[in-house]
């Protein structure tokens, strides 16, 4: 779909995920005029993934586009616009100069960053955390991602890896394996993949988080126990964030945040994990921008909104 923007300056935001790519043309006020969604097709290899990213931009392109921002899961060299690596893309999809490739194709500035950095920036600017100065964003999906925004700016750390919350260790000595292959990480206990593993250990049955939640709501004791363990782990992770960063607010997205069976007990348990009473009132809220969050965040990383 082409954009009829009456000469309004636009920024294209791209959310490049392992399953699908969403792109949108965003105004300076944060309104998405038009958007598209196409399959990533990771199984078809590096060149097809790149072709699909380019095609997603073309589908929302107009002559009024001034820049492109891309959010993508994994480690990104933000300064050079290079996608280093991540778990959801082909093995060969490493050290990809995404910014250079898109800049050559579309002749506008291009910025690339981690997708949860984009998520956090969008929620800090337009969403649940827009009234707060220091914001930690957390996504609870197949894996766990994070981002940190201070006074409206992303805190990136030395290698743009600040916010890799899923890889903090909460189960020292545990055999639970994270998506990165290491043991004991938060992601190994509080993610969707962890939930599937915990349930299979107890039942011998393979099921996704939605099916496990449904089984728990229907009375399955083993599904309920799985949900309880998930809520315990998530409470531990959230308490660690409060202790280490003392943010004004934590905003949480991803599929598991929408599951009341996990979310409500986790939030209820956080306070008991926090040592200092003054920190126990730290707001922990759900994200509010929905499917558009990463498009808006990707547009924001261009620094033109």
Q: Which CATH architecture has domain 10-118+292-300?
A: 2-Layer Sandwich (3.30)
Cα distances (angstroms) measured from residue 50 to each of 42, 92, 150, 294: 10, 12, 32, 18
What pLDDT score does 1 carry? Answer: 44
In contact, 163 and 145? CB cutoff 8 Å: yes
Which residues in the chain land under pLDDT 50? 1-6
pLDDT at 7: 63
Q: Find, among 236, 235, 211, 215, the residue nearest to 225 by Cα.
A: 215
pLDDT of residue 46: 94
CATH architecture of 130-287: 2-Layer Sandwich (3.30)
- Judge if 10-118+292-300 and 130-287 fold alike in CATH terms: yes
Q: At a CB cut-off of 8 Å and minimum separation 6, what does 241 contact?
A: 136, 138, 146, 165, 247, 250
Partners of 68 in beta bridges: 12, 110
Any idea where the domains of the chain sit in the sequence?
Answer: 10-118+292-300, 130-287
Residue 79, Cβ density class (10 Å: 0-12 exposed, 13-18 middle, ≥19 buried): exposed
pLDDT at 5: 40
Angstrom distance (rounded) from CA 276 to CA 279: 6
Query: Rounded to two decimals, what is the model's pTM?
Result: 0.92
Kind and range of the H or E run holding 68: strand 65-72
Give 276: exposed, middle or buried? Use CB within 10 Å, 0-12, 13-18, 19+.
Answer: exposed
């Amino acid at each position: 779909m082409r954009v009829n923007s009456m000469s309004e300056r636009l920024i294209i935001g791209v959310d490049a995920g392992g399953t699908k790519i969403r792109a949108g043309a965003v105004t300076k006020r944060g309104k998405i005029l038009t958007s598209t969604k196409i399959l990533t097709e990771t199984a078809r290899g590096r060149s097809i993934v790149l072709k699909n990213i380019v095609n997603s931009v073309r589908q929302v392109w107009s002559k009024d586009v001034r820049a492109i921002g891309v959010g993508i899961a994994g480690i990104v060299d933000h300064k050079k616009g290079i996608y280093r690596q991540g778990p959801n893309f082909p093995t060969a999809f490493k050290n990809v100069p995404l910014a250079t490739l898109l800049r050559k194709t579309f002749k506008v500035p291009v910025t690339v960053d981690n997708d949860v950095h984009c998520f956090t920036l969008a929620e800090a600017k337009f969403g649940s955390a827009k009234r707060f100065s220091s914001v930690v964003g957390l996504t609870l999906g197949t894996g766990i991602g994070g981002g940190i925004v201070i006074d409206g700016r992303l805190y990136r750390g030395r290698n743009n890896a600040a916010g890799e919350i899923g890889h903090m260790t909460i189960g020292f000595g545990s055999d639970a394996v994270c998506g990165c292959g290491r043991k004991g990480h938060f992601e190994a206990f509080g993610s969707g993949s962890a939930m599937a593993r915990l349930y299979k250990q107890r039942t011998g049955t393979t099921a996704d988080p939605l099916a496990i939640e449904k089984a728990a709501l229907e009375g399955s004791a083993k599904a309920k126990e799985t949900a309880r363990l998930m809520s315990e782990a998530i409470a531990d992770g959230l308490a660690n964030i409060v202790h280490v960063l003392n943010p004004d607010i934590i905003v949480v997205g991803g599929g598991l945040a929408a599951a009341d069976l996990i979310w409500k007990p986790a939030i209820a348990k956080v306070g008991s994990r926090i040592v200092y009473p003054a920190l126990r009132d730290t707001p922990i809220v759900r994200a509010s921008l929905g499917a558009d969050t990463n498009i808006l965040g990707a547009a924001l990383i261009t620094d033109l909104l």
